[in-house]
Structure 1
Amino acid sequence: MTPNLHISYHPVIQTKLSQLRQKDNTPKIVRELTHELAVLLAYEATMNLKTSKTKEMMSPYESYKGTELAERIALVPVLRSGLGLLDGFLQMLPDAHVLHLGLYREKISLQPVEYYNKLPQNADVDLCIVVDPIIATGNTAVATVNILKEWGVRGSQIKYVSILGSLQGISQLQTEHPDINIYAAAVDDTLDENGYIRPGVGDTGDRLWNTLF
């Protein structure tokens, strides 16, 4: 545990996470709960964004100085399951850039394999918010941050937001990248031999997109 790890103990987040864990949820319910958790986690992860005063504006009674976000923000969904969080974050940050990264976990080695990268040539942003529902082994999370740093952003410019992490995965991400901020609804203690968190929430990609056959 470090000051850069932010676990939410908000009662609504904890209730919705408990509901998401339920194995009999339909894909529709999984998507709805994931979206709702995304909005709540977006609120938590954006509480310290910088703002600036803008032009003179008018309320129904008198003039006032407007306020707007002062940072150029990029949302980085890790395909495919990160797409389940994206709309919730866009609801909070509708003008954010969306930069897709595709990584999958190889079944034998459990190591990440990059298959899609839509980062522009220049890292012309102030903050990257990575959205990835699960930090299991931590390998994909570490690889994602590696890609962003190689692209040109500093660790202080990266926030990694997940619904759930394993103790092992969070520890690995903190060890490899102690300079980033991590936000999660909870951390489970156990990671099994197949790289799945226990009790966990299952395979979020399969549950979101109804590919459990």
Structure 2
Amino acid sequence: MSAPTPTPQVHHVTHPLVQHKLTLMRNKEASSTTFRTLLGELAMLMAYEVTRDMPVQMVETHTPLETMQSPMIDGKKLVFASILRAGNGMLDGLLRVVPNARVGHVGLYRDPQTLQAVEYYYKMPADMAERDVIAVDPMLATGHSAVAAIDKLKAAGPRSIKFLCLLAAPEGIATLQAAHPDVPIYTAAIDRELNDHGYILPGLGDAGDRIFGTK
């Protein structure tokens, strides 16, 4: 399946630093420590892109010299919704940029036979109706986990939802857009296709295993 052409709802982050660090992460010889460090750095860089259009309001600010009107983020605190377990690897980098953000978790695993997402945990902050949510998972492969997570998030009625990942497969993009065409996708790469086991090709392997050193 050929990579889809990015649309207004698919944001391909092509900054040279993002692409350089992603190439280092793809290397199968990279240790778990190196992989985690690069993932945190990449998440931090991509945080600037995914928050670029956050609403702001002008507030009165007193500098040492005079009073002025200057912008501050508007509304309740942002929520980073980590899709477990690999999403947790992105949180440190994101929270370095937005340290006051709240964090929620959606626990999902992929059934190895059906490749469908199975939920085992869900916890979000209060007052979701007044919050903007960024769902985070390093990989958008089949798209089933992302769809299931966003189904749950939408039930909480947040002000907006975005999806942030490092790698996306065309199949995953198509699945997520079909189910939630209103949710923008931010990714550092759109890879070629999925293999028979639902892994992204050329990809970077299982992100969770590489983050945590498991098999």
- TM-score, with structure 1 as normaliser: 0.93
Counterpart residue type for residue 88 of structure 2: L
The match for 2:119 among 110, 114, 128 is 114
Shift of 1:120: 4.5
Answering whether residue 44 of structure 2 is matched by residue 10 of structure 1, we say no
Aligned to 2:39: 34
Aligned to 2:107: 102
Change (3 A) 1:42 1:120: closer
Q: Which runs of 5+ in 1 are unaligned?
A: none
Where in structure 1 do 4 or more consecutive aligned residues deviate above 2 Å? 61-67, 119-126
**Per-residue CA shift, 1:95-115, capped at 9, x if unaligned?**
111111111111111110111
Is contact 1:35-1:85 (8 Å) kept?
yes
Q: How many residues align?
A: 209
The match for 1:179 among 182, 201, 209 is 182
Q: Secondary structure at the match of 2:20?
A: helix
Distance across 1 between alignment mates of 2:70 and 2:151: 37
Q: Which runs of 5+ in 2 are unaligned?
A: 1-5
Shift of 1:37: 0.6
Shift of 1:125: 3.1
1:57-96 correspondence to structure 2 within 5 Å: 57-59=62-64, 61-72=65-76, 73-96=78-101
Is contact 2:60-2:67 (8 Å) kept?
no
Answering whether residue 45 of structure 2 is matched by residue 43 of structure 1, we say no
Distance across 1 between alignment mates of 2:99 and 2:83: 18
Aligned to 2:202: 199
> Percent of pairs identical after alignment?
41
Q: Over aligned residues, Cα RMSD in angstroms?
A: 1.4
Is contact 1:57-1:66 (8 Å) kept?
no
**Per-residue CA shift, 1:62-116, capped at 9, x if unaligned?**
3333431113211101111001101111111111111111111111111101111
